[in-house]
Amino acid sequence: MTAGCVSRAGAGGLTVLCVLGAGCLGVSVLYASATVPMVLVLAFLTGLAEPLRASAIQRMAADTARARAASMANACDMVFMLIALPLSARFWSRRS
């Protein structure tokens, strides 16, 4: 994506990606056979969301706080993954 395209998408683009991700989660919970394709789609959506979030941080944060804002966003991602991955493994082990 070009920088102009990313900056025009803004919060609306992030909202659409969030709704698509929630839909993928719902499909994978309802249909176990669709889990692997939904994981691939979610990985693709994550790749699309990162530049959108980076451009939003660039627009919203002050010049002196951009690095801290980006680091905080990355730390939040890591904490979420640290919690979500073991929970998902526990959920899937009970389901099988």
CA distances from 71 to 12, 21, 63, 77, 91 (A): 23, 23, 14, 10, 30
Mean pLDDT of 69-76: 87
pLDDT above 90: percentage of residues in the chain: 1
User: Strand, coil or helix: what is 68?
Assistant: helix
Task: Look at residue 37 and tell me whether its pLDDT is greater than 60.
Answer: yes
Residue 10 confidence (pLDDT):
65
Closest CA to 1 of 46, 68, 65, 48: 48
What does the pLDDT look like over 38-53, one tens digit per residue?
888 888 888 888 888 8
Residue 12 confidence (pLDDT):
78
